[in-house]
Copies of this chain bind each other. A is one copy, B any other.
Amino acid sequence: MQKGSSGASTRDHGLAALIRSLELHDALGPEERRRLEEMPMRVVRFAHGQDIVREGRKTNECGLLLEGFAGRAHFLENGKRQMTAVHIPGDFIDLHGLLLKILDHSVVGLGQSSVAFVPHEDMRRLTENYPHLARVLWLSTLIDAAISRAWIVCLGRRSAEQHLGHLVCELYTRLHAVGLIDGDSFAFPVSQTEVGDMLGLSTVHVNRTLQNLRATGFLAWDNQVVTVRDFGALAKLAGFDPIYLNLFREPR
């Protein structure tokens, strides 16, 4: 873990990502926005694979992902690993730690990432004084939960091809919503082994499944860059319906 030499620009950039991310679901008032901007935060950069938050630890800060990706990783007795979520810039990676106290999983960096840590007491004060902001933050954890349910459905009842396609659709849609899609592609700095940990598949099978998907022509995935050639067709193949991401503004 390296202390962030990154100055105010990373901070401002990340804050903008958070606010944009929250405002996907409901507009914030100027006062709410100002309070968020005033939050004290400590920016830290992480290399690929580093633990951002470690399982079982009592935390006293919330991590806000500024750049890069992060995954929630659960480790089993037998050494296997299962990821349960992927976070993108603007996401709180452990907002649930604010109330859960002890986390049952780690959060690891995917690619180079930077995270702003905000003390729990500041978050707490914010939620106590600004009930609407508290609801929007609550909502963001509810959407995380909705994404978890979608993962359960994919794991339980979809084919490997559908599941991998669904993951791409999910990431594409979420990244697109916060303006992080470049043309029709995005960098996704993870190995096929790590994709396997997201989908609950072996590395070998991820490789073969990916080949099948590439053969459809709906997407390309090379050198850790994913290109969605035909989103509609991919979404149909994967049974992806973005409704669960709640990407519409509405008073909450």
Residues of A within 8 A of B (CB): 56, 72, 74, 76-77, 80-82, 84-85, 96, 99-102, 104-105, 127-128, 131, 134-135, 138-139, 141-146, 148-153, 155-158, 199-200, 239, 241, 243-244, 246, 250, 252
Contact = CB atoms under 8 A, between A and B. Distances in A.
Contacts of A141: 138, 141-142, 145
A56 B241 CA distance: 12
Contact of A148 (B80, B148, B244): B148
Contact of A131 (B74, B134, B143, B157): B134
Given A99-B138, A135-B127, A156 B72 contact: no
Given A74-B149, A141-B145, A146-B100, A82 B127 contact: no
Contact of A82 (B152, B199, B244): B152
B153 A152 contact: no
B148 A100 contact: no
A149 B106 CA distance: 12
Nearest to A252: B99
